[in-house]
Structure 1
Amino acid sequence: MESEKLRVGLLFGGQSGEHEVSITSAKAIASALSQNSRYDLQPFYIQKDGLWCNPTKSQAVLQQTQAEPSASSNSQVIQWQLPIEANQIDVWFPVLHGPNGEDGTVQGLLQLMQKPYVGNGVLASAVGMDKILMKSLFAQAGLAQVKYVALSRWQWQQEPESWGEYIETELGYPCFVKPSNLGSSVGISKVRDLAQLEVAIASAIGYDSRIIVEQGVTAREIECAVLGNDQPQASIVGEITYKSDFYDYETKYTAGMAELIIPANLPSEVIEAVQAMSVKAFQTLAGSGLARVDFFYVESTATVLINEINTLPGFTALSMYPKLWEYSGIPFADLCDRLIDLALEKSS
């Protein structure tokens, strides 16, 4: 019967630079869930000003039958007045990438609602989003990674020359400058000398008060997907290749600019190491549901270095996470179904 269906709240859009990517991911998930008689799908679109839209307006955004609703003039007053339909949701499926969605903030709200939700909890989401804390935990867990320097906006502004010299000595060039809390390669710069370093840091601290500078390595970029709660499983391993200077936002989300190679052509011992490290990274952050873990494989020394974990990876047609599981034997629709089961399992 219709009343016996599981009401799934698909949460997408959001207040981050990855708003459009979130909509694209949500369209793919909505298409999969709508074909499953088990679910009554209720979409909830969050505008860029923070206003939650009801399912009717949200469905229009998914179907592109109208433009996104305009920002409300008094959004600061009404953005926390959730649509009445939100009270009827049985399980939430957040597809919010980046800040205010992937960093534990929305997870905390859903936790307060006392409803199951797909994906990682507050802790794993917050730590996974913060590159400095993430790398500190990886180091304590014994996961090999590239050398890096972490500093705050205040530290840089007090002693830019000293920090510049220190980074040159510790890391050398090329190196990568990144905001600590931001996703999808936003605000990241590759630098090759001190002048570029200063410009890149000035740019990064415009996004976040804490930044990280990582040593550049000549390596292949390898990714692995993780699925599960207490007994997480790793997918087969994939590789990303591209012709641009590095895997920036444009390369990541523009068709034809990057190629996903699945499965990656790697020695069996390297594949096993990547899979084992993926599960260990997931468990180190107290992960649940899903994650994509990214690595560098330095072929000249046969070394595997963990780069980062993404606790809410993309679900677009170009996204590595669902493709890795598809090649591992779990089609897209089944993957969405499994994630909902894991959410219910976690809350039981």
Structure 2
Amino acid sequence: MKTNIYVIYGGKSVEHDVSLQSAFSIINSLDKAKYNVYPVYITREGVWCSTKIVKETITELKELKHCNFNSISGSLGDFLSKHFKKGEKSIAFPALHGSNGEDGTIQGLFEMLNLPYVGNEVLSSAVGIDKVMMKDLLSLGNIPQAKYTSLLLHQWQENEEKALEEIENIIGYPSFVKPARLGSSVGINRCKNRNELISAIKEAFLYDHKLIIEKEIIGREMQIAVIGNNCPKASVVGEYIQERKFMDYNAKYVDGRLVPVIPAPLSDNISEAMRQTAIKAFKLLNCKGLVRVDYFVTAQDAYYINEVNTMPGFTKYSMFPALWEKTDGTSYSELIQILIGLGFARHEQKNSILHMRWEA
């Protein structure tokens, strides 16, 4: 009997469109002779739209956006009632980025359904998407990172002048203002003075009520892909050659001008140190399945973790699959199968835990 794979994508997130691109590649890469592939589209309003089994190659993104429901609860109820039948082997593949998908919420639903799923669990997903919490935990492991501070919306509304003075005293300029719980470089701005800082804060608060403000580090932006459960492995280091000050949304997903360099030109000692640090971060955040660790590397070969991404993109521009292909020859399709296997293995291990008091 074939394994059912539910590729879940879209969602109530500013990264909705990026998710569609990831799902497009994942669905087309899955072996239809081995798997029953079910696309599950979540609209921007949160409505679940389950379509029929995909047996052929999808040629256009619009094929992934069919929906016949208006109600969130009704659509979710219909999806659950039609699938996950007894005796069938099933797994969810959340190709969701950002809010309501990469933040532990949908992972909590899978846990309640006792459904195997690809990627990180509730805790690591929630911590990984919150850049402030993530950096607080990484600091406990003495992992190098940029100086940072945070700002909550109510603090800004109560006293803008005080908030600005604290940021300027702690971080200074140039600085970067980011929504704390978003990815794909949405809502991020570089600030050289107070006027730019005010404007950046106001824009970032459109996307989140919690911000992180970081001191600028001048360096190359590099990435490492980590896969595994109990014994994670790190890829070689890769970097993008870019024209802009930082990789914003358009640079990543629209312009297509980023040129990947894999492996990145680094000394063996620095490369290995970064790989070991990536694994250390993976373990500190209790990650499972996969993580992409993003770095800054200065001209003096000092390296700093910028952030971790617990569900990195799988678009045609994505670094994660390219890193593994250059590391050990793992193809895109093989990588997907490895991640599916890791999801099943974690599920089996978790199901070995007792949920009632043991008596001799």
SS of equivalent residue, structure 1 residue 290: strand
Amino acid at match of 1:9: Y
Q: Which residue of 2 aligns with 1:267?
A: 267
SS of equivalent residue, structure 2 residue 83: helix
Residue 244 and residue 138 in structure 1: after superposition, are their counterparts in 2 closer, same or farther (change >3 A)?
Answer: same
Amino acid at match of 1:150: S
Residue 71 and residue 241 in structure 1: after superposition, are their counterparts in 2 closer, same or farther (change >3 A)?
Answer: farther
Deviation at 1:78, TM superposition (A): 2.1
What do the CA deviations read for 1:278-303 (whole angstroms, capped 9, x no partner)? 11111111100001000111123x21
Q: Which residue of 1 aligns with 2:34?
A: 38
Q: Which residue of 1 aligns with 2:221?
A: 221
Amino acid at match of 1:285: L
For 1:122 and 1:332, how far apart are their aligned partners in 2? 26
* Superposition RMSD in Å: 2.0
Q: Which residue of 2 aligns with 1:311?
A: 310
Alignment coverage as a number of residue pairs = 342
User: 2:38–2:53: 8 Å Cα contact kept in structure 1?
Assistant: no
Q: Which residue of 1 aligns with 2:233?
A: 233
Amino acid at match of 1:326: E
For 1:136 and 1:39, how far apart are their aligned partners in 2? 41
Q: Which residue of 2 aligns with 1:146?
A: 146
Amino acid at match of 1:38: K
SS of equivalent residue, structure 1 residue 185: coil
Q: Which residue of 1 aligns with 2:340?
A: 340
Deviation at 1:192, TM superposition (A): 0.5
Amino acid at match of 2:26: I
Deviation at 1:66, TM superposition (A): 5.0
Q: Which residue of 2 aligns with 1:284?
A: 284
Amino acid at match of 1:15: K
- 1:244-255 matches, within 5 Å, as 244-255=244-255
Deviation at 1:62, TM superposition (A): 4.9
For 1:297 and 1:245, how far apart are their aligned partners in 2? 14
User: 2:98–2:182: 8 Å Cα contact kept in structure 1?
Assistant: yes
Deviation at 1:168, TM superposition (A): 1.7
Amino acid at match of 2:272: E
Deviation at 1:40, TM superposition (A): 1.8
Please, which of 18, 21, 24 is the counterpart of residue 21 of structure 1?
18
TM-score by length of 2: 0.90
User: 1:174–1:190: 8 Å Cα contact kept in structure 2?
Assistant: yes
User: 2:226–2:278: 8 Å Cα contact kept in structure 1?
Assistant: yes
SS of equivalent residue, structure 1 residue 44: strand
User: 1:44–1:58: 8 Å Cα contact kept in structure 2?
Assistant: no
User: 1:48–1:71: 8 Å Cα contact kept in structure 2?
Assistant: no
Amino acid at match of 2:6: G
- 1:116 aligned onto 2:155: no
Q: Which residue of 2 aligns with 1:75?
A: 71
Residue 117 and residue 76 in structure 1: after superposition, are their counterparts in 2 closer, same or farther (change >3 A)?
Answer: closer
Uncovered stretches (5+) of structure 1, i.e. residues with no partner: none
For 1:32 and 1:339, how far apart are their aligned partners in 2? 13
What do the CA deviations read for 1:211-231 (whole angstroms, capped 9, x no partner)? 110001111111000000000
- 1:327 aligned onto 2:326: yes
For 1:208 and 1:61, how far apart are their aligned partners in 2? 37
User: 1:96–1:102: 8 Å Cα contact kept in structure 2?
Assistant: yes
User: 2:20–2:64: 8 Å Cα contact kept in structure 1?
Assistant: no
Amino acid at match of 2:156: W
Deviation at 1:163, TM superposition (A): 2.0
Q: Which residue of 2 aligns with 1:201?
A: 201
For 1:150 and 1:178, how far apart are their aligned partners in 2? 10
User: 2:51–2:66: 8 Å Cα contact kept in structure 1?
Assistant: no
What do the CA deviations read for 1:115-167 (whole angstroms, capped 9, x no partner)? 11000000000000001100000001110100011121111222211221222
Residue 247 and residue 169 in structure 1: after superposition, are their counterparts in 2 closer, same or farther (change >3 A)?
Answer: same
TM-score by length of 1: 0.93
Uncovered stretches (5+) of structure 2, i.e. residues with no partner: 349-360
Amino acid at match of 2:316: A
Deviation at 1:81, TM superposition (A): 1.8
- 1:293 aligned onto 2:293: yes
Q: Which residue of 2 aligns with 1:106?
A: 106
What do the CA deviations read for 1:221-255 (whole angstroms, capped 9, x no partner)? 11000000000000011012211231111111124
User: 1:43–1:59: 8 Å Cα contact kept in structure 2?
Assistant: no
For 1:61 and 1:49, how far apart are their aligned partners in 2? 27
For 1:127 and 1:67, how far apart are their aligned partners in 2? 30
